[in-house]
Structure 1
Amino acid sequence: MRLVYMCMFMLAVNHLTAGVKVKNGSQKFSGNKDDKCFCKLKGEVDDCSCKVETIDSVNNQKIYPRLKSLVSRDYFRYFKVNLAKECPFWSDDSRCALKDCHVDTCAEHEVPPALKTNGNGNGKENKYTEKAQEVHSCAEERELSALDTTISDESKEAFKNWTEHDESQDLFCDIDDENSSGLEYVDLSLNPERYTGYKGASPHRIWRTIYEENCFKPQSKYGYGPNSKLAKKPYEDMCLEKRAFYRMVSGLHTSINVHLCAEYLFPSIGYGDSQWGPNLEEFKQRFDPQTSDGEGPQRLKNLYFAYLVELRALAKAAPYLLEEEFFTGNDEEDKETKQGVADLLTVIKSFNDHFDESKLFAGEPTEARKLKEEFRMHFRNISRIMDCVGCDKCRLWGKLQIQGMGTALKILFSGDTIGPQSTVNASSKRNFQLTRSEIVSLFNAFGRLSTSIHTLEVFRKKLQ
């Protein structure tokens, strides 16, 4: 009987201490059933040697605060973009049904005259003129996803000098929209990336088209849960280049979803105002293995892969970027921006476990060239799909982040050599050049990834 009681006592102790890990003399809870979203966020990032814990520390303590300050500078917060391009893949029959998904045209006098005439003085109307829009009452406009097109008179005047300065540069190439008459400046600080109410068939079609038709993807499902050890490992049927492509796209998609969960609009209670804030239930819905076909935790880890790719691009382009003027016409502002960039790049260059791009396209030369071209064309198609996004604010951030990632790839595979120690610099401007738009998108896109990783700590603490 004593033996029976002893067994029962031991079973009870084992049950109570399940999930408790003893390390260095302390007890740490590791089995929280609500913490399943983060079960893969530890150890080495796939196809890299850098660890998640290292990235969390460097990003959250050093890179994120510097980037947050830097992208608020005038040079980086004004992004020139064409939001009027037609979707090249299907008719535009799925625009966001909310009035707030359209550009706010109520304060038309605030729009620069050049935009009202398509930027070339020919007097043709574009979609931002009052006549081209459905009539909406300003009083009915809500905050969700309407683009704030407010530009100060001082900024409008400065843009003229910016344009003259840019046109005097020996540009490497014309990026998407560079010569488009539909280009306009958007103040990113007035149009933050957050939940807009854009959901349903339209955004689902965007991502389905990206993954099914324009993205390398795993051919087999992989298990998650009790029998996962018997299941095929993710991506093992793909070559390194295709895995890298998929992880970058998945990482970008994850970053966007993290921002939507972190900046979610909660409806007002009673007579109070609606509030923006982190939505834990939405986060769990997107990343818990049980509600994401087991893929949510892996998607979070892909965020770190995308982060490492763009981090390496900034490190490689550091010598080039340190020679940039970051011209806005305000000498003091330009000086502080240059100092901020130099400070950030010092931290990035000191990171000693960068992504190694030389491992990509390193096979048989003919096959490598073919794969690289396929890689490039897939990415180009994804950038064009962004013109099919039905919400203007979502389209703005989608185009910016895809362009930023494309700029990172351009940097990684430019220059005389590639690999962890290679760089591009200002002395080789004949062979390598970044436009203002590419630089702005590169820093802001990396800023979005950095913010996402910083935000994960908020959700991790809430889950614990």
Structure 2
Amino acid sequence: MSLDSSVETAARALVSLLVLTPLVFGYFGSELKDSEPCFCQLQGSLDDCSCNVDTVDYFNNVKVFPRLHSLLTKNYFRFYKVNLQKECPFWTDDSRCAMKYCHVEACHDEDIPPGLKEIKSDNVALQEEPAAKYTEDANCNSDHNEQLSYINTTISAAKYEEFEKWSAYDDAQDNFCVTDDLNGGEEYVDLLLNPERYTGYKGASAHRIWRSIYMENCFRPKKSMFPYIESIDVKNMCIEKRAFYRVISGLHSSINIHLCSKYLLSEKVGFQFSLSNPEWGPNLDEFQRRFDPSQTNGEGPNWLKNLYFVYLLEMRAIAKAGPYLDKIEYYTGNEADDAEVRAAVKNLLGVVYSFPNHFNETAMFSGGDKAIKLKDEFRQHFRNISRIMDCVGCDKCKLWGKLQVQGLGTALKILFSGKFDDVDPTSGKLAVRHKNRFQLDRREVVALFNGFGRLATSIRELEDFRKMLR
């Protein structure tokens, strides 16, 4: 072999080594610093939380995401009942998306699992049947029937139905979302057949949604020049108002990551939307446009950090309600499948309990009457945001917006209703006194797990974009 060929071979080997080294070290988690602008600041500790980005990355990508990804394909979690026909309560919707990719295909009756057609609540197993509580035998002592016979201790079915309405009203006071009515316009949607992805919905209508959320419903500093609130201003806000902005920003970031990861590539290369076989996939240019510091006034990495913030908040809610979630039957009518779901939920809860640095919600809303007033204002702001979801002009975007907002609202309800504050979730036991105090309907449970699944997917997809940039 000549000297020239030896040098050429060595040079090729060196080039190969230089190309492969970042990939290899990145895969095995070396301490090489990210040089990509979108990720250069996405490291270290998270504000208002006691853990690091790297800790969440590992815990989610290795432990949580694979379990959630499998669980959410089950019938109990894939069918979501929603009303996509509700009118926008704030303005006339004059920009409905006419693209076929915005369309949502509702389920036919035969597609819906039989157990979901009649079930009203998964809490039935946790509630004592009224017939057992209010029978005459249960309320009368046989030894004193003669003495107390003039007292009528029975309760009619009509009265019991009124009690149920009172209970539902009381529960609604804890809700952070305005939910769809259960008596008109709702349809079951198969989430697996209507995945969240970029549909082409954009422009003034889409911008108006986020502008209304941030400008009219987020707590805003008195001086804020940037439309979506500059971080330097947010840091000067109280923890509750700062947390509100961060959960909305984190949800926004998560949705943007989904759209970048499942982008309509036929549009990117200039094809028409009428293609019979459109292709979706990651769009790195779009990801950088949305999160690169140079294109976001330096805010992109902070928005990504807010994704981790809302992820930790929702994971804490699942942990806090874990004893309750563990008791649900997850009934769909398929005994084997339902048993598998219950086992999978129990396994996921065990993993969630093991996270070492959960979000600490007790630092919020402490301080007497002022805190109570702030919590109510917090709730009303979020309820307005849930109403804004009915103003989204793309049905598929509306579906996933309503689901994720309801999931986040359910997490806030769990954390701040006060009904689980003295329950230790790591024990895995639900105290008797709590069995009838805390209620979630099936849609809230489905939204909670799917919403958390969307956040887990976003963090997993961030790793894919990080590798593409390398």
Match of 1:252 in 2: 251
Q: 1:155 aligns with which of 101, 109, 112?
A: 112
State yes or no: 1:146 paired with 2:103: yes
Does the residue aligned with 2:84 lie in a helix, a strand or coil?
A: coil
Structure 2 CA distance, aligned partners of 1:296 and 1:71?
29
Deviation at residue 161 of structure 1 after TM alignment: 3.8
State yes or no: 1:380 paired with 2:363: no
TM-score by length of structure 1 reads 0.77
State yes or no: 1:425 paired with 2:430: yes
Deviation at residue 358 of structure 1 after TM alignment: 0.3
Match of 1:183 in 2: 186
Match of 1:264 in 2: 263
Give 1 or 2 for the bigger CA radius of gyration: 2
Does the residue aligned with 1:438 lie in a helix, a strand or coil?
A: helix
Structure 1 CA distance, aligned partners of 2:250 and 2:181?
27
The one-letter code matched in structure 2 to 1:53 is D
Deviation at residue 460 of structure 1 after TM alignment: 0.5
**Count of residue pairs the alignment pairs up:** 387
Structure 1 CA distance, aligned partners of 2:422 and 2:252?
26
1:34-433 to 2 correspondence within 5 Å? Answer: 35-96=36-97, 98-100=98-100, 144-151=101-108, 153-155=110-112, 157-163=114-120, 173=171, 176-220=179-223, 233-267=232-266, 273-363=277-367, 365-416=368-419, 418=421, 425=430, 427=432, 428-433=434-439
Q: 2:454 aligns with which of 424, 431, 448?
A: 448
Match of 1:439 in 2: 445
Q: What is the RMSD computed on CA atoms of the aligned residues?
A: 2.9
Structure 1 CA distance, aligned partners of 2:182 and 2:276?
46
Higher mean displacement: 148-157 or 450-459: 148-157
Structure 1 CA distance, aligned partners of 2:183 and 2:377?
26
TM-score by length of structure 2 reads 0.76
Match of 2:13 in 1: none
Higher mean displacement: 368-377 or 155-164: 155-164
Does the residue aligned with 1:36 lie in a helix, a strand or coil?
A: coil
Does the residue aligned with 2:264 lie in a helix, a strand or coil?
A: strand
Does the residue aligned with 2:280 lie in a helix, a strand or coil?
A: strand
Decide whether aligned partners of structure 1 residues 83 and 232 sit closer, same or farther in structure 2, where only a CA change above 3 A counts: closer
The one-letter code matched in structure 1 to 2:326 is L
Does the residue aligned with 2:89 lie in a helix, a strand or coil?
A: coil
Structure 1 CA distance, aligned partners of 2:331 and 2:288?
43
Deviation at residue 293 of structure 1 after TM alignment: 1.7
Identity fraction in percent: 54
Match of 2:463 in 1: 457
Deviation at residue 265 of structure 1 after TM alignment: 1.1
Decide whether aligned partners of structure 1 residues 263 and 186 sit closer, same or farther in structure 2, where only a CA change above 3 A counts: same
Structure 1 CA distance, aligned partners of 2:324 and 2:376?
26
Decide whether aligned partners of structure 1 residues 456 and 255 sit closer, same or farther in structure 2, where only a CA change above 3 A counts: same
The one-letter code matched in structure 1 to 2:190 is D
CA contact (8 A) 1:75 1:326 kept: yes
Deviation at residue 250 of structure 1 after TM alignment: 0.2
Match of 2:143 in 1: none
Structure 2 CA distance, aligned partners of 1:342 and 1:37?
36
Structure 2 CA distance, aligned partners of 1:92 and 1:399?
17
Deviation at residue 277 of structure 1 after TM alignment: 0.6
Which sections of structure 2, spanning at least 5 residues, go unmatched? 1-21, 128-163, 173-177
Deviation at residue 177 of structure 1 after TM alignment: 1.6
Does the residue aligned with 1:83 lie in a helix, a strand or coil?
A: coil
CA contact (8 A) 1:357 1:420 kept: no
Which sections of structure 1, spanning at least 5 residues, go unmatched? 1-19, 101-143, 224-230
Per-residue CA shift, 1:373-407, capped at 9, x if unaligned? 11000000000000000000000000000000010
CA contact (8 A) 1:317 1:425 kept: no
Structure 2 CA distance, aligned partners of 1:448 and 1:40?
23
4+ residue runs over 4 A deviation: 26-29, 163-172, 218-223, 268-273, 419-424
Deviation at residue 426 of structure 1 after TM alignment: 6.7
Deviation at residue 53 of structure 1 after TM alignment: 0.4
Structure 2 CA distance, aligned partners of 1:396 and 1:426?
35
CA contact (8 A) 2:231 2:299 kept: no
Structure 1 CA distance, aligned partners of 2:430 and 2:352?
16
The one-letter code matched in structure 1 to 2:439 is Q
Greater relative contact order (CA < 8 Å, ≥ 6 in sequence): 2
Decide whether aligned partners of structure 1 residues 416 and 191 sit closer, same or farther in structure 2, where only a CA change above 3 A counts: closer
* Greater per-residue helix proportion: 2
Structure 2 CA distance, aligned partners of 1:461 and 1:307?
22
Deviation at residue 158 of structure 1 after TM alignment: 4.2
Does the residue aligned with 1:237 lie in a helix, a strand or coil?
A: coil
Decide whether aligned partners of structure 1 residues 272 and 328 sit closer, same or farther in structure 2, where only a CA change above 3 A counts: closer
Structure 1 CA distance, aligned partners of 2:124 and 2:347?
28
